[in-house]
Amino acid sequence: MREIVVISGKGGTGKTTVSAAFAHLAENKIICDLDVDAPDLHILLAPDVKQTEPFISGNEAEIRQADCVHCGQCQKLCAFEAISFDGAIYKVDPLRCEGCGVCVKLCPAQAIDFPEGHCGDWYVSDTRFGQMVHAQLFPGQENSGKLVGLLKTEARKRAREQKLETILCDGSPGVGCPVIASLSGATLAVGVVEPTPSGRHDFSRVADLCRHFRVPLAVIINKADLNPAEADAIAAMCAENGHTLLGRLPFDPVVTQAMVRRQALTEFDNPVGNALKDMWSALQAIKTGREARTTTRPGE
């Protein structure tokens, strides 16, 4: 079973556009949107939700006013200034509370509850490209890495049950905890990078992350014609570090037109969509599994 994760070192590189195109082209697969903080793959795929589950994670302090003796100990102990006193009662600001539990443990009246938090919801949906597992964290909530892991576990379980060959994931941007969780167990990563100095810098960080976890990396340079010099520099980085360069995509207004129409670029005839079809074909020839996962830099 192949697990392909589309990633980028920063947001806005075109990762979801590429993911939607590959979701259209892939066969015998399940789709997984791992960008749980700000998901947008559902905008293009228009999922029909079949199952909704709450994501429960972390804890948040709540003061039981009937039992509070107004000693002020909780406010003194809170390192995050999450507890305030309005002259009558002490109360917890949920936006400041980090769920450390210090006030709960050291309240002399034991008047503080510590319930688990409902941080968001995750879904199993049908789309025109097949089944999709996706989620949405509530604003300001954390533990996105844990939610990414939950989605991947669910996608793998369903792939095994349905004997699917591919799990196609739209990963999280950046190099933080959600991206590390996205890459966990992946057989291949596809990096989408913009030809700018910041894009090249962020790409180098996510490439190092793939190398650390021994996940082979294939690269797509998006909007390559806007800065050919930077595109060439990124191509040179790929050659130097043993990454597969799938190709370069031009800047084209057809991308925005496809978004407005809520379509993948490969659903109608256009130069960018045709280039993505060629890249998907090239992607199929890349070895995965144990042999590919042990790929290192030349000379190592």
- In this prediction, residue 294 carries a pLDDT of 41
Residue 143 has pLDDT above 80, yes or no: no
Looking at per-residue confidence, does 111 or 95 come out higher?
Answer: 111
Residue 172 has pLDDT above 50, yes or no: yes
User: pLDDT of 54-76, one tens digit each?
Assistant: 999 888 999 999 999 999 999 99
Question: Quick check: helix, strand or coil at residue 211?
Answer: helix
- In this prediction, residue 104 carries a pLDDT of 97
CA 115 – CA 296 distance, rounded (Å): 46
42, 134 Cβ separation under 8 angstroms: yes
Write down the mean pLDDT value for the chain: 92
Assign 142 a pLDDT band (cuts: 50, 70, 90).
Answer: confident
103-131 mean pLDDT: 95
Residue 297 has pLDDT above 60, yes or no: no
Lowest mean pLDDT of 82-91, 170-179, 269-278, name the range.
170-179
- In this prediction, residue 291 carries a pLDDT of 40
CA 93 – CA 82 distance, rounded (Å): 5
DSSP for 151-195? HHHHHHHHHHHTT-SEEEEEEEESSSHHHHHHHTT-SEEEEEE-S
Residue 293 has pLDDT above 60, yes or no: no
C-alpha count within 13 angstroms, C-beta hemisphere, residue 41: 33
The closest alpha carbon to 44, from 116, 125, 151, belongs to 125
Q: Which long-range contacts (CB under 8 A, 24 or more apart) does 97-103 make?
A: 97/60, 97/61, 99/58, 99/59, 99/60, 99/61, 101/59, 101/61, 102/77, 102/78, 103/61, 103/73, 103/74, 103/77, 103/78
Residue 292 has pLDDT above 50, yes or no: no
Residue 173 has pLDDT above 60, yes or no: yes
Question: Considering the entire predicted model, what is its pTM?
Answer: 0.86
Residue 98 has pLDDT above 60, yes or no: yes
